[in-house]
Structure 1
Amino acid sequence: MSSALAQDLASLSASQAARLLQARELSAEALVQACIERYQAREPAVRAWRSHAAEAALAQARALDAGPLRGPLHGLPIGVKDLFDTRGLPSGYGSPIYAEHQSGHDAAAVALCRAAGAIVLGKTVTTEFATFHPGPTRNPHNPAHTPGGSSSGSAAAVAAGMVPLALGTQTAASIIRPAAYCGVVGFKPSFASIPRAGIKSLAESLDTVGAFGRSVADVALLTSVMASAPPWRALDHGGAPRIGLCRTPYWEHASPAAQQQLEACAARLSLAGAVLVEVSLPPEFDTLASVHDAIMCFEAWQALADERLNHAEALSEPLQALLRRASAIDFEQNRYNQQRVAAARARLPEVFAHCDLLLTPSACGEAELGMATGNPLFSRSWSALGLPSLHLPTGTGPSGLPLGVQLVGPAGSDLATLRGGQWVEHQLNRQKD
């Protein structure tokens, strides 16, 4: 394959590639080969992959090309976060404790993707047990900066063109923040929309499976398969949504560039025909980020019981510090914290009374210098409430690194959130041209 052709194929969005694959105008082998060539060029600097199964992926691609169409993901290469058990590949969960671990089974989400025709190209780097201790992955836009976490490898692999789609998970901000830092689209569906069987658990009431891609249509395609929700792919029926500009109680923590980006996007969407309203969150939201943090710590203490009791010496200092904080939270305090989340959830009808989507920051600003995964502040509340959240890249900041915005919908409004997100994406892209 010529380098120019490989470059073009590796730059296709998943939805563009899917249309060509479904029409048999593009072979799965050619697409996989293009992704492998991009991997060979970019991986030494980006380090997005924990394992890479090029030969097995090519063999599967050839088999798909020789047979009938398998499903909506037919022939599409995907990266799988190393938190998911994946047949035939190691599953290390970002920890030396599981360095030699290999499951004989696929996590449910991975099995659903394979059944729909996806080709697993490899496992992408995760932080340690999806917490805050970083892996080796670097930001594809500037390797001196973090890609975010915990789905660092998935976001970076898509951003670097090494794969058109990747699986991730979010407990606090682990899809939205790396999508923001790496400049790709990230979607965290409503809580429990996608099965979590076969995924290393961190926080039982918070962990959510999601996706990275290059467009809203891409993440809709992948999550629709994992959620067994074909209607999520029907994005061509959405008009201008009612948008609530929501600065949140944490607005002062957003950089000036992030604040300006949000305000500018709101103005552009209003000019494009969206009904724009200002939304102030009820007082129950003022401390919701810290409540989320406490719940996550308590549930991590439970989920990582074997690791902390039997392998404490293999845990990083940041994770040990998190677990020490968790040890001070008892059952009654956690139940009270859950009640505080429920009180905030009860106010959501008021929050969305005059809007379909909230427009809010995705992160505090551009990706930070160094490998610390960044502040999850602007996603914690939405993760605690289990709301669908979508990150859209919108521009760059003063350091030349990506900036973007987050759209948040009511619980269970995944299709409406994706439709509204595609309308926003279209308007913002059109105004760039």
Structure 2
Amino acid sequence: MSATFTPLHLLDAWQAAALLARRELKAIDLVRACLDRIAEREAQVQAFVQLGADTALAKARELDAGPVRGLLHGLPFGVKDLFDTFDLPTAYGSPIYAGRQPQADAAAVALCREAGAVLLGKTVTTELANMFPGVTRNPHHPEHTPGGSSSGSAAAVTDGMLPLALGTQTAGSLIRPAAFCGVVGYKPSHNRVPRAGVKSLSETLDTVGGFARSVRDVALLGAVLTGDARLADPAAFDEQAAAPRIGLCRTFEWAQADDDTQQAWAQAEMALAGHGTHLALPASWSELVRVQKEVQAFETARSLSHERLRHRDQLSAPLLALITDGLAISGEIHAHNLQATAGARQQAQALFDQHDALLAPSSVGEAPRGLDSTGDPLFCRSWTLLGLPCVHLPFARGHNGLPVGLQLVGAYGADQRLLAAAHWVHQRLRS
């Protein structure tokens, strides 16, 4: 793939970054190409709540006239409307905060700008990053959900509007929309990326990550967000690198995977023949989905206390139901759940003594038809509770022709090893 044969708006971020750094591509041209794509497709996809086209163009001209700023120099990016931005409103997908203008960027946004990225706009989130959907449609079929809660970010990258976009995950809000839209989604290890300036739902679970079109792209973004340049080391993506040790992990929820996911799994087993071994999880982990649901409900109900007490009539019925469930969970039960979480996190480290990464389902199947739900995050809940880094890898199609893929899960803090393994695996799955 090269700039000669590939439209600018479809260049992988790492390829565009190399061209920009060598001054073989101008930031203004890349930004214009993305804005043209947005103008062409936004009415159908509805990925954005706010565009900052004039500011983005001015920033691109400034970057072209000055020195290379960093790893993301000149790359357009989008930001989920859960992150504060000093120059664009942030409403958290809720009428409660309509028109709210923060005074400062969220830390993750500021880090991307410092590295030279150009903010094009704010992308749609579900209501307060929960389950009630926004207006975004799946770019592959407008009658199917794009997933959530990072709906707009995943859809915009999928549709060629942006090479990179930020999102968050509390249950499955990065991996599930990546799966439904067919892009690479990256959830870093918990607490590897600062959450300052991002609307909080759950201190135990909330994680900042992002979307791109390749593993190398999310590695580039991850290097900036975590401050760990090793994540984007080109040596990690050497095609001659040694094969990683992959654990094949169907999880306790496998019976709920539909035919599309099961067929993708069978395809992956064939592609990875000789490099993967089946892995049994600790028996106690059969309870992790329940624990994650209770931790999320308890902490979200309390994080949204202001909204519940002052703006109850502006909250959706599904969110009110979650809050009601969370308030019914006692502090004693929550403390027990946190102890169980800590114990499971310790157990998780032993899984990686013999494996570099675990292959697991990302979703029940392809994106469901209808826009009144964002789908089930079932296969993401346990990994989010454990705080482990995850990368969704798209490579197959379901019975409706929509994307299907699997996720690779790494040891806590071993994001570099996970990303290198994900690149290696993704090459085989797509071949």
Q: Which residue of 1 aligns with 2:141?
A: 142
For residues 27-176 of structure 1, the aligned pairs below 5 Å read 27-176=26-175
Instruction: Name the SS of the counterpart of 1:417 in structure 2.
Output: helix
For residues 278-317 of structure 1, the aligned pairs below 5 Å read 278-317=278-317
Q: Deviations over 1:36-73 (max 9, x none)?
A: 01001110000000101111111110111111111111
Give 2:227's aligned amino acid: S
Match status 1:264 vs 2:263: no
Find the aligned partners of 1:350 and 1:96 in 2 and give their Cα distance. Answer: 45
Compared CA separation, residues 374 and 235, structure 1 to 2 (3 A): farther
* Deviation, structure 1 residue 6: 11
TM-score by length of 1: 0.96
Find the aligned partners of 1:301 and 1:316 in 2 and give their Cα distance. Answer: 14
For residues 367-386 of structure 1, the aligned pairs below 5 Å read 367-371=367-371, 372-386=373-387
Question: 181-190 or 334-343, which moves further after superposition?
Answer: 334-343
Find the aligned partners of 1:6 and 1:100 in 2 and give their Cα distance. Answer: 41
Give 1:380's aligned amino acid: R
Give 1:294's aligned amino acid: E
Give 2:171's aligned amino acid: A
Q: Which residue of 2 aligns with 1:413?
A: 414
Give 2:328's aligned amino acid: A
Instruction: Name the SS of the counterpart of 1:212 in structure 2.
Output: strand
Find the aligned partners of 2:355 and 2:72 in 1 and give their Cα distance. Answer: 33
Find the aligned partners of 2:290 and 2:297 in 1 and give their Cα distance. Answer: 11
* Deviation, structure 1 residue 236: 2.3
Unaligned runs of 5+ in 1: none
Q: Which residue of 1 aligns with 2:393?
A: 392
Task: Say which of 243, 247, 250 aligns to 1:247.
Answer: 250
Q: Deviations over 1:97-142 (max 9, x none)?
A: 0001010110011001101100000000001111000000000000
Match status 1:364 vs 2:364: yes
Q: Which residue of 2 aligns with 1:202?
A: 201
* Deviation, structure 1 residue 222: 0.8
Give 2:402's aligned amino acid: L
Find the aligned partners of 2:351 and 2:262 in 1 and give their Cα distance. Answer: 21
Q: Percent identity?
A: 54
Give 2:270's aligned amino acid: A
Instruction: Name the SS of the counterpart of 1:347 in structure 2.
Output: helix
Find the aligned partners of 1:354 and 1:224 in 2 and give their Cα distance. Answer: 26
| 2:137–2:155 Cα contact (<8 Å) kept | yes
* Deviation, structure 1 residue 287: 1.3
Find the aligned partners of 2:4 and 2:19 in 1 and give their Cα distance. Answer: 15
* Deviation, structure 1 residue 304: 0.6
Find the aligned partners of 1:198 and 1:29 in 2 and give their Cα distance. Answer: 28
* Deviation, structure 1 residue 333: 0.6
Find the aligned partners of 1:242 and 1:148 in 2 and give their Cα distance. Answer: 30
Instruction: Name the SS of the counterpart of 1:270 in structure 2.
Output: coil
Q: Which residue of 2 aligns with 1:231?
A: 230
Give 1:242's aligned amino acid: R
Match status 1:422 vs 2:423: yes
Unaligned runs of 5+ in 2: none
* Deviation, structure 1 residue 344: 1.7
Instruction: Name the SS of the counterpart of 1:287 in structure 2.
Output: helix
* Deviation, structure 1 residue 7: 7.3
Instruction: Name the SS of the counterpart of 2:324 in structure 1.
Output: helix
| 1:93–1:130 Cα contact (<8 Å) kept | yes
For residues 322-361 of structure 1, the aligned pairs below 5 Å read 322-361=322-361
Find the aligned partners of 1:354 and 1:72 in 2 and give their Cα distance. Answer: 33
* Deviation, structure 1 residue 270: 2.0
* Deviation, structure 1 residue 239: 2.1
| 1:189–1:388 Cα contact (<8 Å) kept | yes
| 2:349–2:412 Cα contact (<8 Å) kept | no
Give 1:150's aligned amino acid: S
Question: 348-357 or 60-69, which moves further after superposition?
Answer: 348-357
Q: Deviations over 1:148-182 (max 9, x none)?
A: 00000000000000000000000000000000000
Find the aligned partners of 1:239 and 1:393 in 2 and give their Cα distance. Answer: 22
Find the aligned partners of 2:22 and 2:99 in 1 and give their Cα distance. Answer: 41
* Deviation, structure 1 residue 256: 1.2
Compared CA separation, residues 7 and 313, structure 1 to 2 (3 A): farther
Instruction: Name the SS of the counterpart of 1:329 in structure 2.
Output: coil
| 1:284–1:340 Cα contact (<8 Å) kept | no
| 1:6–1:33 Cα contact (<8 Å) kept | no
| 2:47–2:151 Cα contact (<8 Å) kept | yes
* Deviation, structure 1 residue 226: 1.1
* Deviation, structure 1 residue 5: 8.5
Instruction: Name the SS of the counterpart of 2:337 in structure 1.
Output: helix
| 2:220–2:231 Cα contact (<8 Å) kept | yes
Compared CA separation, residues 6 and 322, structure 1 to 2 (3 A): farther
Give 1:282's aligned amino acid: P
Question: 138-147 or 418-427, which moves further after superposition?
Answer: 418-427
